[in-house]
Amino acid sequence: MWWLLLLPVLLYLAVLVALYSGQTAILFPVGQVGPPPPLPSGTQRLAFTPAGGERLAGIHIPPSSPGGERLLVLGFGGNAWNAEAMAALLHQIYPQADIVAFHFRGYRPSGGRPSAAAFRSDAVAILDWVGPQLRPARTVAIGFSIGSGVAAVLAAEGPVDGLILVTPFDSLGEVAADHYPWLPVRRLLRHRLEPAEDLRGTNVPVAILAGADDRLIPAQRTDALRRAVPRLVFDRTIEGAGHNDIYDRAEFRLAMVDALAALHHP
């Protein structure tokens, strides 16, 4: 009889062990990243190795309709999004800008192994490396989903002139805790992204775009981020949009254009 009482405990411990050991593969599903799309003519391949890091590979899409001051847009995608596909989308939305995106560490053709700590340090290294290459007048970082937690690092360690955060959250640990309230995920989580903490106390203008029907990032997590941002200059929630289908909506692209304008004229 005592085995029947002990069995639930053993099953619970097994779940904890599986979650702790498998969290990197869950958070960073490198095998699910799709192939890159066709890229615009003139796209340049980029690669460099940060000090003490791994080789990072990326692309630069020059503006197709340049005009006015030079704008650099640095993109940081979701955890299963091909960085080149993200860059192509940003080029469609902002044809006047230089678009730069790098594959996260551990996502081919970049080297190394993925981790939140690596993404954070690599984001700063990318900005430091790209800036002198292109010498932009303004730099805006854009983060999508988990990439919003990476882009937020640049508000504190940039400098950048603005952030656009799409389907963002306040804390990766809090998102996980909302999904698994019956597990001590905050203690088990080895990968920390804390955009609310990174943004608190900064003066960088921030734009937030969210989907009203997002089931992956609970609404309370985006709300908590809003409250933490000292200089929120644009905030739009797209009705009927989920976490992944938000990009298919015309309202999304219009909101992205409006968000960039709000950063320039907060």
* pLDDT, tens digit, 9 for 90 and up, residues 150-172: 999 999 887 899 999 999 999 99
Q: CB–CB of 263/234 below 8 Å?
A: yes
Structure tokens at 35: 């192939």
What are the extents of the domains in the chain? 2-264
Query: Is this prediction's pTM over 0.85?
Result: yes
pLDDT > 70: percent of the chain: 93
pLDDT tens, residue by residue, 43-73: 999 999 998 889 999 999 999 987 789 999 9
Per-residue pLDDT of 73-129, as tens digits, reads 999 999 999 999 999 999 999 999 999 999 999 999 999 999 999 999 999 999 999
Half-sphere exposure of 227 toward its Cβ, with a 13 Å CA cutoff? 8
Peptide bond just before 159 cis, omega within 30 deg? yes
Amino acid identity of 90? L
Q: Does domain 2-264 have CATH number 3.40.50.1820?
A: yes
Beta strands in the chain (DSSP E): 44-48, 56-61, 71-76, 98-102, 138-144, 162-166, 206-211, 232-238
Q: Residue 87: is it exposed, middle or buried by C-beta count within 10 angstroms (0-12/13-18/19+)?
A: buried
